[in-house]
Amino acid sequence: MLKGKRGLLLTSLGLVIFVAYLAYSNPFSVLMELGRFDPWVFALAVLVNYVGLFFFSASWYLLLRALKVGVSIWESVQAMFVSLFVVWLVPIPVGTEIIRAYLVKDEENSDMGKAIASVVVHKAYYNIAFGALIAIAALMVTVFRGEAIPVRSELVFFVILFAAVSSVIYGLFLNPGLLMGVYERSPGWVRRNLFDRMVDSRMRERGFPAVIEEIDSAVSSLMAQPLNNLLSILMVAFHWSTGSLTAYMVSLSLGSPIDFWAIVLVYALIEFIQQLNIFIPGGLGIIDATLTGAFVLLGVPLSMAAAISLLTRLATYWFEVILCALVSFRYGYKESVEVLLS
């Protein structure tokens, strides 16, 4: 699926890790566990995950609507699915944000400033919701239930700190004074290959400072719509929680339920690894092994943990890839996908 030897090499590496992980987990025991799953509960888990994906798209649409960008909610869903599909094939930092900004910058009543502001604020909200849910889960487990955190408390604290700091950093990206300072101090080749590429042809003479003005105006428009921002954060939080909820329902389908709040905590590690993964498509092998290890930490036997991990990944990754691919190519984004991949 990926172009070039590098993509083939990294995909092959992921497959090797995945096979090694399966071999260690004893595939025959895992298959015995998989044979017991309830297909109806699993189908409901897949549906819940899909609903979370649509809520994630809708949360971005609310920000676009606050900016009065002329896209429908279905068009925002399509753009989101295209961005997710491409980044699953070619993992790049903030890839979904870059692709979505590219896809909406030329829409009715849109510009580069609005496109950038919408995706950066959306990313900040994602990290805010991510950190808040982990903190709530830690409180539920330790304070309200009086139990020990199933993973190292230092890791939970670090991931919450990572979410908070990254949200602040994304916010700084929208500061016009900081942007102008970085632009003015950048070498000529950085200006040409990074900043100047964001400038529309209609603003070529004014250059990147015109984009900064658009970003500043877009942020002001967003801040004037507090309800849209609140709903967007809540929708992002729901999307994030559906990953943990899907894993919980998968465990139910296999007759081995795991505490939901404990799953939220172990998902902190998974989410952290996913955000750092810029090499292996979909985190193939790495995420599977890490998720299994996390379930083992919760006291689940290895074969059952591997079975829950495999079905969870099937629901939250492979079925998402299929859905996003179908939407991308069915609704005329084939050319866009080819351009983005190249």
pLDDT 10s digits, 173-184? 788 888 788 777
Residue 284 resides in a domain: yes
Q: Is residue 313 part of a domain?
A: yes
Q: Mean pLDDT throughout 124-151?
A: 83
Confidence of residue 203 (pLDDT cuts 50, 70, 90): low
Q: What is the model's pLDDT at position 2?
A: 45
In a 10 Å sphere around its CB, with 0-12 CB exposed, 13-18 middle and 19+ buried, how is residue 235 labelled?
Answer: buried
17 occurs within a structural domain = yes
- Ranking 46-50, 64-68, 297-301 by mean pLDDT, the lowest is 297-301
9-18, 34-43, 85-94: range with lowest mean pLDDT:
9-18
pTM of the model: 0.86
Domain assignment of residue 6, yes or no: no
Instruction: Judge whether 269 lies within some domain.
Output: yes
The residue ranking higher by pLDDT, 339 or 191, is 191
Classify residue 331: in a domain, yes or no. Answer: yes
The residue segments making up the domain with residue 106 are 13-341
CA distance 335 to 312: 31
Mean of pLDDT values over 318-322 = 91
Confidence of residue 278 (pLDDT cuts 50, 70, 90): low
- pLDDT, position 228: 92
Cα dihedral across residues 145, 129, 270, 282: positive or negative: positive
Q: How many domains does the chain have?
A: 1
